[in-house]
Structure 1
Amino acid sequence: MANGVVVLIAVLLLERSAAVGDQADPSHVDGAPPSKIAVVGAGIGGSSTAHFLRQHFGPEVQVDVFEKGEVGGRLATVTVNHHDYESGGSIIHSLNLHMQEFVKVLGLKYRRSVAGKTAVFNGDEMILEETDWYLLDLFRLWWRYGISFIRLQMWVEEIMEKFMRIYKYQAHGYAFSSVEELLDSLGGSGFLNMTRKPLSDSLLEVGVSQRFIDEVIAPIMRVNYGQNVSIPAFVGAVSLAGAQNNLWSVEGGNKLVCSGLIKTANANLHQAQVTSIAPVTSGDTLQYRLSFTSETDSGSDLYDIVVLATPLQESVQSGITFEDFSPPFDQLPGYYHSTVATIVHGYLNTTFFGFPDPRLFPFASVLTTDEPRLFFNSVASICPVNISAGFRRKQPQEAGIYKVFSPHTLDKVQLKSLFRSYYSVQLTEWSAYPRYGSSSSLPSIELQPNLYYLNGIEWAGSAMEMSSVAAKNIALLAYHRWNRQDDKVDQKDLMHKIKTEL
């Protein structure tokens, strides 16, 4: 999310299955732990999976993590003038308990926040502007939108209260074999229906006005997911929950969480591309052969458990082929949405936003409505991942560092529209999030016995914490499946069970 969104949205929110094949039985009744576990992908999902696997399976198990690119995945930085800036996932919510625990365990620090005001631009003018006076902002919201923002807050809080149950379930060791089972345990059929129903419809039903949806909700969806308000309601709720205040990030860059977790898990990091996975059966034992290549080498190895923490949809081109599976297994349906993050060192063209004098432009970030002629989703003045005590945000009349989110690469004409002049331009094109609506079902977690898929959780909601929740669930699920502890998987009425356990 663009820096500066936090304060505006805080005001808006009142500050407040693929079938399992007939393989050999993978379970071990003798209590012997698995010998080797592979995790494919070293983003936040893969690194936190390695961390949780180590917690549950103990110190003797060999954990290998394969990563074809940079550790951190979609948590990444770029360097401008000897300072690093987030080009990927940049914001973490205060209720993200796994991420908070990671920072504590790793001895990392919270990055100091730098205040900045936000506005919404419709292509002609600023239709919503944050000021220095909270009561004035509140009055403006009420005058323009009535009590829509109160209804939104109530809706988000109800969903968040139910979602927070997952931490209790996981603390008591319960796991789920599918995303549907996980959501059903938290919010029943209501949560499942929210994965199939447009966000705009759900908000209209609770009394949020169409104007508020168009001018406030749509800009948030554009900056967070690069998509519109037709995305599923549950995805939208995750996005809106992450648009409140009490947001934070990691000093030095959020990707430090990933490298830190791999290290504390005592996992072996292989900078290699996994090219194929094939089941290998010997008597009653099922393993998986992973073949891989690196810049200097190629090879293969057998693993008792494999976790795929990388998207398997065709649009992402994972490079992995699945051999000798019965029934045959291939890439999953659905597509990932392409978002371009452009980091520009230059002078913002405030005239484009109706401010000929840049000294009178008070905003650190600008969101946009779903206006077809707008070629960008947001532009924001951003701060480095290391903020010194004397740091101050650059004023618009000064050369600053800006992050622009757009659906396509910005051409020179578009860059000249947004910036009076610039020194450097660095762009990263991300397959950042699922293209919501491109698949009619939630991907499976258990692809085959002891072969797990983490990124299916993204089709319910995409965020760092969602990946961490999925990682904890897979570690628990893998542990219980290995030890035949079925009483800890897909249990109903968990809130009652937990109370009786206490």
Structure 2
Amino acid sequence: MTVWCYSEPQSRSACTRAPSPATPARHHQMTMKKQTSTMPMPVPTLALLLLLLLLLLAVQIANAAQSPPLLTPTATATPPRIAIVGAGIGGGATAYYLATKHGLANTTVVFDSRDYIGGRLKHTIIDNQVIELGGDAYASPNIYMEELVKELNLPISLRRGSGGAAAAGRHSESLDENDNGVSTPIDNLVAKLKVRLIELQARAQKAGSGVQGVSGDNIGIWTGTGWIPLTLTLLDHLLSDTGTLESLAGFLIRLRENYVLRDDLTTPFKTVDAFLRFGDLEMYTNTTADTFFDGHGVAKATQQDLINPVLRVIYDQSLDESHAFGALVSLTSLIDAYSIATGNSKLVEALFAAAGSQVSLQSRVVSIAYHRDTKNWNLTYVSTASQDPEADQQHIIVDRVVIASPLEYTSILFINTSLSVTPRQFVHWYVTIIVAKSVNPAYFNEQPSFVVPEAVLTTQPKSGNATVFNVVQYIADADNGYHIYKIFSNDWVNSTLPELFVDIREYDVQVWPYTFPELVATTKFQPIELSPDLFYLNTMESIASAMEVSVIAGRNVAALVAKSVA
């Protein structure tokens, strides 16, 4: 079992084995010495002293009336111990905001059965190139992600942008500001959308037909038997294109309203429904994407040939399966998408480090028992390397528990607390990284001189033209004239690789048993507060599984935890 102690050194029992439930929990507490002045001062008259005291009291009352209550524990209170189950970005965000927004640094103990920090954010390095194996990128509307990257001073790379795909290694410019100096990334994105649409339509007019009409903007869409002429499709459905743009612009505007209306850490939301009410976002989660686009005048051809392939890349679902929120989030990735230059998991490591968290890797949480008399929790965990899990179980007493991993895959036994959680279906994912000379044009029934688009998306599989992958994409250049490619699929593609690539040097496969839940249209969501003092992040994934959503969930639960201990 690997233990990362970012916090100040504690007793060995705090890091490895906590006291038994019958023994009071031990807490690490810092004390500060208050300096007092010894300078003599004249003794005022009784009347003057009373007047000064009254003035002081009046000032304190006025300040209390003008300032909102802070969700921080009192100075004399013993700092709480907070357990976080899951060392992914949601858990990291929870710990970070507890420390930076609520004065609860060095209070979080984190458990994860994996041997690395990051959860579903993971990367590898090939020929000095950082290649993401999990969550790939975040987009401009992700306000909190932008803030975290700046606060932690992390380098970023533009993965996709208005200049084309795969611009790895370039740093993004700072957010534009309006006349009042307020960052408006969503306004900027809407403007970029309009520019992109004009660019694509102009290309379509020049391209006419043929090979150049396939890729348009370094993106090709393959049906399994032939190409969809992307730019020509855009040109043929101008009104539909406008409907798509208006739908996405309206969605981004409502997202901005959501951020503005709930940007108050003193009033966190307690349900997913409450979150969606900010900005009226329910309209996107309670209807399927195809029904939504039908209602906004988007042609079926545009839906099936353009929007659906993008949705398949991001969430491996179709328009009649996913809610509209998921489809619209997918479309934002076409404009610009950023990642941490050193690997997205480095963000999570930085969050826990800044929070002073104690992170125990390769530690599987077995059970969580609530003690009603002491109003705290006994968390039982065991090393994943243990040869005798029953004998090697360890315990820790904590005041609050945050579950930062899908309950459907934790297998935790909850004792003395009743949970009412409807399980969700999840999508599994295969990420295949290939180092080869090139993609083989013959696979697409083309001549050797054909230039395969940098990103090849696919349509929904149909009888007779099934596609084995959702996307094959150029990522970066490797050494000695080789290139690095990535394939997303929901099954193994090993047998297809020799046909699809020329001169394969190596390849590797990352299998994710669960990647994101099925984004079904619904009005019912799992709870955020599972029981008093037991909180859950991953219900928010039913809206969208994205880094920003995880950060929103962590930021909110941090406020709920702080409020519960204040």
After TM superposition, the score normalised by the length of structure 1 is 0.79
- Are the aligned partners of 2:367 and 2:413 in contact in 1 as well (CA < 8 Å)? yes
Counterpart for residue 54 of structure 1: 99
Q: Give the letter aligned to residue 151 of structure 2.
A: V
Matched, 1:429 2:511: yes
1:192 aligns with one of 282, 303, 311: 282
Residue aligned with 2:457, SS = strand
Counterpart for residue 63 of structure 1: 108
Counterpart for residue 132 of structure 2: 86
Residue aligned with 2:552, SS = helix
Counterpart for residue 305 of structure 1: 400
- Are the aligned partners of 2:157 and 2:339 in contact in 1 as well (CA < 8 Å)? yes
| Cα distance in 2 between the residues matched to 1:331 and 1:446 | 11
Matched, 1:288 2:404: no
Matched, 1:232 2:277: no
Return 5+ residue gaps in structure 1 as ranges. Answer: 1-26, 130-136, 384-392, 484-502
Q: How does 1:180-329 map to 2 (within 5 A)?
A: 180-187=273-280, 191-230=281-320, 231-241=322-332, 243-271=333-361, 272-282=363-373, 285-294=374-383, 295=385, 298-313=393-408, 317-325=409-417, 328-329=418-419
Counterpart for residue 88 of structure 2: 43
Q: How does 1:331-410 map to 2 (within 5 A)?
A: 332-346=422-436, 347-357=438-448, 359-372=449-462, 373-383=466-476, 393=477, 399-410=482-493
RMSD: 2.5
Q: Give the letter aligned to residue 227 of structure 2.
A: M
Cα deviation, residue 279, structure 1: 0.7
Matched, 1:128 2:234: no
Counterpart for residue 99 of structure 1: 145
Q: Give the letter aligned to residue 424 of structure 1.
A: E
Return 5+ residue gaps in structure 2 as ranges. Answer: 1-70, 166-217, 387-391
- Are the aligned partners of 1:335 and 1:435 in contact in 2 as well (CA < 8 Å)? yes
1:60 to 1:311, Cα distance in 2 relative to 1, 3 A: closer
The structure that has the greater radius of gyration is 2
1:28 to 1:278, Cα distance in 2 relative to 1, 3 A: farther
Of residues 423-432 and 52-61 in structure 1, the stretch that sits farther from structure 2 once superposed is 52-61
| Cα distance in 1 between the residues matched to 2:427 and 2:342 | 28
Per-residue deviation, residues 180-232 of structure 1 (Å, max 9, x unmatched): 11101221xxx324323110110010000000000011101110011111211
Matched, 1:442 2:525: yes
| Cα distance in 2 between the residues matched to 1:81 and 1:332 | 45
Q: Which has the higher contact order (CA 8 A, sep 6+)?
A: 1
- Are the aligned partners of 2:285 and 2:523 in contact in 1 as well (CA < 8 Å)? no
| Cα distance in 1 between the residues matched to 2:450 and 2:481 | 13
| Cα distance in 1 between the residues matched to 2:347 and 2:511 | 22
After TM superposition, the score normalised by the length of structure 2 is 0.70
Counterpart for residue 4 of structure 1: none
1:80 to 1:429, Cα distance in 2 relative to 1, 3 A: same
| Cα distance in 2 between the residues matched to 1:177 and 1:330 | 15
| Cα distance in 2 between the residues matched to 1:63 and 1:185 | 30
Identical-residue share of aligned pairs (%): 27
Aligned length: 425
Q: Give the letter aligned to residue 355 of structure 2.
A: A
